[in-house]
Amino acid sequence: MLKMNVLPADTYTVFNRTILSESDRKHIIMLYQPMIGSASVSLYFTLWSYLDQNEIGSIEWTHHHLVTHMGIKLDDIIEAREKLEAIGLVKTYCKKGDINHFVYALYSPLTPSEFMINPILSISLYNNIGKKEFERIMDYFKIPKINLKEYEEITCLFTDVFDMAPKTLLDYDTLSLRTKKRGNLSINSKIDLSSILGFIPEEMLSIRSVTNDMKDLIYKLAFVYHLSDEELVSLIRNSLNERRMIDSKKLRVNARHLYEFENTGKLPSLIYKNQPEYLKKKDADLSKRSKMIYTFESTSPYIFLASKYKGSRPPQTELAILEYLAVDLDLKPGVINVIIDYVLRINENKLTKNFVLAVAAQFKKEGIETVEAAMNLAEKEYQARKTIKVQKNLKVEEKPEWFDKKITREHLAEKEKEEMSKLLEGFR
């Protein structure tokens, strides 16, 4: 993904890639808003309102106008737009220049049935609104059952009413006509599906039966439940039917049961993967501390923790801790990375749950959102612990390498460069 800085003077136009209707508004509010938030929904509706009378395109606007119109900061608008992009409602294009020009292409939301069969969206909605509200929404969109046992269908066929007569042949391009278009969820999957299917004997699974839709489902389930290649081999084997085909319903159920078993009945939730752009440090330099800030900001907590295991999958107990920090405490990804690094260094490389939660609770109480503020608080806490231990004549823990490093120097010594390369090796 190419990140582009947006300035108030940068311009944009809105382009409609679909056919929008009033029912789309209801679907976005009921299904999408609990996951992406009201700011993203408000941005979508605002961009929609800029379309001309034919709902095809808009005139050119500046982002300053958008800030004024919505009454929120530009950074908040960018975050809201990124969520719309990720969920498949908007695609963004940019033409660089003295003043950058953006095109925001609008796409329709999924229909309720498409939404509910998507494991990423349906499970995320369930976790955001709870079982009772989720069932209420399901009931709202269900087709009412009508008892027609005592009725006979008398519907006319087309040929019963119409016939065809010779007329002038029309020559037109149907491909240029507007249609209902929906954006897909694009996932960068880390599983090797070819290798996974190769581990299942052909007498058990017919490879030809694995359609593109089935592959897409497997990729989405792997993303939702953090499934490894080995786990997927076992799940697929247990989801085969007598025709040597994967039963999609059984695969969904088995994947969910496995996750619930490993996470004491909990289901996964959507979280912001990396530190939001508006909370990142803007005036970075070449100092060691600045490079650590960049690492904390640009790495997801899962990848950061996995780097401590040389890229291997961390234990499920530690992944559960990450989920608690992100979902229950709602801590930002960069802040979680600082907490992980801090606890591992002062707790003999152990990510003890109670210890982590105690440290995280302190960060939450202090309202820490940026990496730099998290590092400053960690330094303060470390100094307090150090003072207590010195007074009690106890061993002082190893302090993180980024402690007490002021951002003053522009260049690193050769030895520091070498140390920094080793430290960042796990993130490449």
Tokens describing residue 322: 């990450």
Position 312 in a domain: yes
CA distances from 52 to 13, 18, 20, 84, 269 (A): 11, 14, 13, 21, 37
Q: In this structure, are 342 and 374 located in the same domain?
A: yes
- Bridge-partner residues for 101, per DSSP? 11, 95
Note the pLDDT of residue 61.
95
Instruction: Supply the pLDDT for residue 391.
Output: 61
- Same-domain pairing of 129 and 258: yes
CATH of the domain at 73: 1.10.10
- 127 and 233 inside one domain: yes
pLDDT confidence of residue 410: 44
- In a domain, residue 265? The reply is yes
- Asked whether residue 252 falls in the same domain as residue 116, the answer is yes
Q: What is the pLDDT of residue 40?
A: 95
Burial of 34 (0-12, 13-18, 19+ CB in 10 A): buried
The pLDDT assigned to 427 comes to 40
Q: Which of 270, 293, 309 is the last residue of a domain?
A: 270
Residues 66 and 45 occupy one common structural domain: yes
Q: 93-98: which pairs have CB atoms within 8 A and are 24 or more residues apart? A: 94/2, 94/4
Give pLDDT, residue 405.
55
- Structure tokens given for 111: 């229909």
CA-nearest of 186, 182, 185, 174 to 18 is 182
Give the residue carrying structure tokens 């290798």. Answer: 195
pLDDT given at position 107:
95
Of the CA atoms within 13 Å of residue 264, those in its CB half-sphere come to 7
b or e along 374-383 (b: 16 or more beta carbons within 10 Å of the residue's beta carbon)? bbebbbeebe
In a domain, 150, yes or no: no
- Residue 368 inside a domain? The answer is yes
Whether residues 264 and 339 share a domain: the answer is no
Cα 337 from Cα 295, distance rounded (Å) = 9
Going along 332-403, which residue ranges are E strands? none
Give residue 332's pLDDT: 86
26-65 tens-digit pLDDT: 999 999 999 899 999 999 999 999 998 888 999 999 999 9
Q: Please provide the DSSP assignment of 16-74 as one string.
A: E-S---HHHHHHIIIIIHHHH-HHHHHHHHHHHHTS-TTSSB---EEHHHHHHHHTS-H
Instruction: Give domain status of residue 160, yes or no.
Output: no
Domain identity same for 331 and 403 = yes
| Residue 100 domain boundaries | 11-109
Q: Cα torsion for 402, 405, 407, 413, to the nearest 10°?
A: -90
Block mean pLDDT (10 aa), the chain, length 428: 81 94 94 92 96 90 94 92 93 94 96 91 86 92 88 87 68 65 73 88 89 89 83 92 92 85 66 65 72 85 84 79 81 90 89 90 90 90 73 63 55 53 47
Q: Are residues 265 and 116 in the same domain?
A: yes
* Contact in structure between 239 and 251 (CB atoms under 8 Å): yes
Closest-CA residue to 222 (of 250, 188, 171): 188
- Has residue 354 been placed in a domain? yes
Residues 126-185 pLDDT 10s? 888 888 999 999 999 988 888 888 999 889 988 888 877 666 555 556 556 677 777 777
Residues 323 and 378 in one domain: yes
Taking the C-alpha atoms of residue 12 and residue 103, their distance in angstroms, rounded to an integer, is 5
* Residues 217 and 350 both lie in one domain: no
Contact, 404 vs 379, CB < 8 A? yes
Q: What is the rounded distance in angstroms from the CA atom of residue 107 to the CA atom of residue 91?
A: 8
Which pLDDT score is estimated for 325? 86
Determine the Cα–Cα distance for residues 282 and 9; give it in Å rounded to an integer: 19
Residues 101 and 243 in one domain: no
Number of domains observed in the structure of the chain: 3
Last residue of a domain, one of 242, 270, 298: 270
CB atoms within 10 A of CB 58: 19
Residue 2's pLDDT is 61
Q: Which of 204, 236, 270 is the last residue of a domain?
A: 270
For residues 261 and 118, membership in a common domain is answered with yes
Please indicate, yes or no, if residue 159 is contained in any of the structural domains.
no
Burial class (CB in 10 A: 0-12, 13-18, 19+), 3: exposed
Predicted TM-score (pTM) above 0.85: no
First to last CA, the chain: 16
In a domain, 164, yes or no: no
